[in-house]
Structure 1
């Protein structure tokens, strides 16, 4: 039996998003631009912030994709470690004493309260 995370990434998101040539070019261009800082400050890191905010947090709720110049989020073999790392981090956050931060972020998102 294939785990749901693998099924979702491989059978749903890969054909729906990551096989799109334009999206792949944008993702790779953003990633490369971020690490080379060329053009200056034109790109952002590829990250998942497990909060109702758009910017990195220093409290363990942000998971970065890769520090390699030529990393490719569209490549499932590069993306799956990122997905698994984010899932593990989310699980850990749910077990911590400050779990309420994650719960509040989920409630904010569900209620459409926007970005903090």
Structure 2
């Protein structure tokens, strides 16, 4: 991730039951984060982040990353379908900092 407000790659394909270790590096000059969830969950949390923009995360599906640092999320994709990910620092999601994990059936 960088200050270009994009995840690279922005689309990932995995198989149901697969466990993935996301190693997320912030090559930018400002704080970013990665959140995994449904579109609804991400949009709900985005509203919370607008009220509390300096919120730090300690949940297994979220990581906040300072400039020049890296973080990890280890996640098992138990259901087929789409899992979204995004940076919910105010303004970043709106600028396009989001992506999708397509989970195919076993």
Fold match (TM-score > 0.5): no
Question: What TM-score comes out, normalization by structure 2 length?
Answer: 0.28
Higher helix proportion (structure 1 or 2): 1
Higher strand proportion (structure 1 or 2): 2
Structure with the bigger RCO (C-alpha within 8 Å, sep 6+) is 2
Larger-Rg structure: 1
